[in-house]
Amino acid sequence: MRLTPIPDAGLGVPPVPRPAAEPQDLLFEVENLKVHFATDDGLVRAVDGVTFGIPRAKTVCIVGESGSGKSITGRSLMNLLPHTARIVDGHVLYHPEPGRTIDIGKLDPRGKPIRALRGKDVSFISQEPMAALSPVHTIGQQMVPVISRHLKLGRREATERAAAMLARVGIPKPAERLGSYPFEFSGGMRQRVCIALALSCRPKLVIADEPTTALDVTTQANIIDLLVELQEESGLSILFITHDLGVVAEVASDVVVMYLGKVVERGSVEEIFHDPRHPYTRALLRSVPRLGAGRDTRLAAIRGMVPSPFDRPKGCDFHPRCDFAIAGTCDVTAPPDVALGGSRSVRCVLPEAIRPPVQRAETPPSSTQRTLRHG
């Protein structure tokens, strides 16, 4: 794990007020999304009623332990799921421009409309660049046809754009390197190539799924800086999936905390770090090294394990690991998702979790009530 210092998550610090994104500023709205896997061992409710929005030109981070449903949520935004997975409920609404809506979850995952969006409107950067690139094709053979198809450019212009993108992400001698194979690049350079490929068709959203996990600490920092710079230049939105709260503190505008397929808390990065409400969010923050903590300070691991998706606890999914669980309540009834104003919500019944926020904002109206125009 990267030892990035995070802002003090002292629970007494008041949140910094921050305006919530208006619905028309949202590029994506995920509403009550449910994605299930039918397996030989039973049903896996990998994503179990997830709701959040991605504002234009902002970075939303999804955090949570392994198996919480981060990647499957991210992949749902491209309707690019394993063949055993099904979107069984909810919506993934894409607003390419204000007033126009595409329900991504309703498109045929293999059909032409979704294939036209993948790579062009929404692109993906994965943890393992080697898996994302074909080992038997040069970088140019992988970039040029994609650019040519999506941006409707001739071969020469597409090649020029590919070289310009490689130059932009810091690859020396970019025109020459278009003739190189992925194995001829170092790990960090390969991830830069993947970023160049992902951004080459000017997407509106990039889904970055643990893009720095496989890299050394210095390269991680360089890649994060590069993504932030590219976002500032191009105004793209980023959905950043990570375990690393240090990275979240650096890049996020909004944070979605997931546990066992559900969003347990969401809010602005300031709200999550300065006024975390859910015991799981608080426990995650306590498990991160903090600048200024004494050398002898032990990090607080979250006790217990994430339950098996086949053996979910009754009541609140987190209650067996929660230091504040109320017997007779948390082990009996699943807590509702309580809206706290703006984009903020918490799925917990504890009074300190659902106390009124310092400054209330209007909750945006649900867009399920708005007319969907498929296009």
Ligand X SMILES: Nc1ncnc2c1ncn2[C@@H]1O[C@H](COP(=O)(O)OP(=O)(O)OP(=O)(O)O)[C@@H](O)[C@H]1O
- Under the criterion CB under 6 A, does residue 70 sit at the interface with ligand X? yes
How far apart CA 325 and CA 366 sit, in angstroms, is 31
- Under the criterion CB under 6 A, does residue 42 sit at the interface with ligand X? no
Query: What residue type is assigned to position 255 of the chain?
Result: V
- Under the criterion CB under 6 A, does residue 67 sit at the interface with ligand X? yes
Distances (CA, A) of 116 to 107, 121, 162: 11, 8, 19
- Under the criterion CB under 6 A, does residue 66 sit at the interface with ligand X? yes
Q: Which range in 65-73, 168-176, 273-281, 295-303 contacts ligand X by CB under 6 A?
A: 65-73
- Under the criterion CB under 6 A, does residue 79 sit at the interface with ligand X? no
- Under the criterion CB under 6 A, does residue 211 sit at the interface with ligand X? no
How far apart CA 111 and CA 254 sit, in angstroms, is 32
Binding mask 181-210 for ligand X (x = CB under 6 A): ------------------------------
Helical spans, DSSP H, in the chain: 70-76, 112-117, 129-132, 139-151, 155-168, 174-177, 187-199, 217-234, 245-251, 269-274, 279-286, 351-354
- Under the criterion CB under 6 A, does residue 71 sit at the interface with ligand X? yes
In sequence order, which residues have a C-beta less than 8 Å from that of residue 183 and are 6 or more positions away? 130, 135
Token pair of 349, please? Answer: 């019944």
- Under the criterion CB under 6 A, does residue 69 sit at the interface with ligand X? yes
- Under the criterion CB under 6 A, does residue 39 sit at the interface with ligand X? yes
The DSSP code sequence of 26-68 is EEEEEEEEEEEEEETTEEEEEEEEEEEEEETT-EEEEE-STTS
CB of 147 or CB of 260, closer to ligand X: 260
How far apart CA 271 and CA 283 sit, in angstroms, is 15
Site size for ligand X, by CB under 6 A? 15
Q: How far is the CB of 305 from ligand X (least distance, A)?
A: 13
Residues within window 111-150 making contact with ligand X, judged by CB under 6 A: none
Q: If DSSP codes are grouped into helix, strand and coil, which group holds residue 198?
A: helix
Binding mask 309-328 for ligand X (x = CB under 6 A): x-------------------
Give the position of tokens 């999506």: 150
Sign for the CA dihedral angle at 285, 221, 239, 13 comes to positive
Q: How far is the CB of 263 from ligand X (least distance, A)?
A: 12
Q: If DSSP codes are grouped into helix, strand and coil, which group holds residue 179?
A: coil
- Under the criterion CB under 6 A, does residue 84 sit at the interface with ligand X? yes
Q: Which range in 68-76, 228-236, 313-321, 358-366 contacts ligand X by CB under 6 A?
A: 68-76
CB of 38 or CB of 291, closer to ligand X: 38
Binding mask 43-62 for ligand X (x = CB under 6 A): -x-x----------------
Interacting residues with ligand X (CB under 6 A): 37, 39, 44, 46, 64, 66-72, 82, 84, 309
